Structure 1
Amino acid sequence: MPDDNRCGVLFDVDGTLIDTTYLHTVSWWEALRQADHQVPMASIHRAIGMGSDKLLDHLLGPERDRDGDGRLRDSHDALYAEYWERLTPLPRAVDLLRACAARGLRVVLATSAAEHEVAALRAALAADDVIDTVTSSADARESKPAPDILVAALDQSGLTAERVVFVGDSVWDVAAAGKLDIPCVGLACGGTSRAELAGAGAVAVYDDPAALLDGLGDSAIATLG
């Protein structure tokens, strides 16, 4: 059941807390290239943040033959896994999580990463002592920009949409939050511009977790509680 007395912050992880956006871009580019799909990296980058199903529709078209989608996902996963031991948090990302927890807020990783990737992301953050809840792609029927993963994060953490803020790095994050009327703070460290994030509906945009931490007292997060 929801705990109406608690507030929290939902965080996207890839590109928001950990510097993975371009690793995913390169991994998808190579997986697509191996299958004879020539897709510019810039196009792939702009689709990162969607689930793999919607990403492939976006890049290859919804009318394509989907028989090869499983192989494309497997290729991406294998290529991306080569980076797992080198995953690096973005500037002061862990400090931001700890600062939110110190304010009495529940810290929720609302990630749609596959379950086998979540362990690598958590290991890179090394902040399990302040993390309340972690989701994965298995918790959502539809990927972003559908809001399913945020609904799952709310359900699992006992929080309500009225008492949370979402922090993400892509227009797909902002769109998903908007469908639940959750304020979304945008971070430009995933490679999406401040103007694009603001134009998509982000209530504020910061360069990276360090900038949000520096401005935490004046941010939407400070209004929780």
Structure 2
Amino acid sequence: MPKAAIFDLDGTLLDSVDLHALAWQEAMVEFGHDITFEQARSQIGKGGDKLIPVFLSEAEQRDHGKTLDEWRGKRFKSAYLPLVRPFSAVPDLLRRARGAGLRIAIASSAKKDELEKYLAIAGIVDLVDIATSSEDVDESKPAPDIFEVVLEKLGIEGGAAVAIGDTPYDSIAAGKVGIPTIGVLCGGFTESSLRDAGCVDVYPGPATLYARFDDTPLADKTTAGSLAIPAAAARWRRGSVRKKL
């Protein structure tokens, strides 16, 4: 029996993936790295600690990795944060989940000050029981740290929760602590990539989850808490699936 729904923010509840990708791509170019928008976008869902090493060598990270990340953060806040909007039916979905007896948690790689603004933009400040940010963990997704913190704060085991995310990194991270993940397509990743990473079900976005709530693992009182993490998630961790993205 599921006791909690753990939501990602960017690309799941908020239409912000392209905006983050633009900020990262501009930051990379600003510091001399010829990175395309598509390359940056494929990594959104990770925190800076996981994204930067994809494009910078160890020497480059030591030299200007932190400064690049700070530049990116300022650029995003000044140019793109005002453009972030929630997807349809986000507050309705969270209210429906609470009405079903689920506690609501947010597992985001966003920084703490960004997280507070995101919750306000989404209109869900009063609907969230637990919210975590990148400052709460040592490593961001696809490391499981953020979900470990959420489970500890909720006081439950992974099998008693369901995660909702838009990237393979969400499912991989959640799967490492035994949490089944519902994937949503509104962040731009394909259904096949989400299922290959371990998602047990995939929907277009929050509005569909809300409309079909009773058919989802969030409402399944007999199986949602014991859903097995597909073997594909383990293959992804070994790197065989990652090459598809």
Q: TM-score normalised to the size of structure 2?
A: 0.86
The one-letter code sitting in structure 1 at the alignment partner of 2:55 is L
Which residue is 1:208 aligned to?
A: 205
**Secondary structure in 1 matching 2:41:** helix
Q: Which runs of 5+ in 2 are unaligned?
A: 223-245
Give the match for residue 157 of structure 2: 160
Residue 46 of structure 1 corresponds to 42
Does the 8 Å CA contact 1:168/1:184 hold for their aligned counterparts? Answer: yes
| 2:18 is equivalent to residue 17 of structure 1 | no
Check conservation: 2:171, 2:199, Cα contact below 8 A.
Answer: yes
Per the alignment, do residues 73 and 105 of structure 1 end up closer, same or farther by CA in structure 2, a change over 3 Å counting?
Answer: same
Match of 2:242 in 1: none
User: What SS does the corresponding residue of 1:205 show, helix, strand or coil?
Assistant: strand
Distance change (3 Å), C-alpha of 1:6 and 1:165:
closer
Alignment of 1:162-201 (within 5 A): 162-201=159-198
Q: How does 1:13-162 map to 2 (within 5 A)?
A: 13-62=9-58, 64-82=60-78, 83-162=80-159
Q: Distance in 1 between matches of 2:128 and 2:39?
A: 33
Deviation at 1:213? 1.3
Q: Is the 8 A contact 2:159 2:180 kept in 1?
A: no
Q: Flag the 1:126–1:12 CA change in 2: closer, same or farther, 3 A.
A: same
Query: Secondary structure, in 3 states, of the residue corresponding to 1:177?
Result: helix
Could you say which structure has the greater relative contact order, defined with CA pairs below 8 angstroms and 6 or more residues apart? 1
Residues 132, 30 of structure 1: alpha-carbon distance in 2 compared, 3 angstrom cutoff: same
State the alpha-carbon separation in 2 of the partners of residues 166 and 35 from structure 1: 36
How far off is 1:29 after superposition? Answer: 0.5
Aligned length: 221
Q: Is the 8 A contact 2:53 2:61 kept in 1?
A: no
Say whether the 8 Å CA contact 1:31–1:76 is kept in structure 2.
yes
Deviation at 1:33, TM superposition (A): 0.8
Mean Cα deviation higher: 77-86 or 146-155: 77-86
Report the CA distance shift for 1:63/1:145 in structure 2 as closer, same or farther (over 3 A).
farther
Q: Deviations 1:102-161 (Å, cap 9, x if unpaired)?
A: 111101011121011111101101222221111111111111100000011111122321
How far residue 35 of structure 1 moved from its aligned partner, in angstroms, is 0.6
TM-score by length of 1: 0.93
Shift in alpha-carbon separation, 1:154–1:37, aligned structure 2, 3 A:
same
One-letter code of the match for 2:156? L
SS of structure 2 residue aligned to 1:37: coil
Larger deviation: 152-161 or 141-150? Answer: 152-161
The structure-2 alpha-carbon separation of the partners of 1:211 and 1:61, relative to structure 1 and needing over 3 Å to count, comes to farther
The amino acid of 2:39's aligned partner reads S
> Aligned-pair RMSD on alpha carbons?
1.6
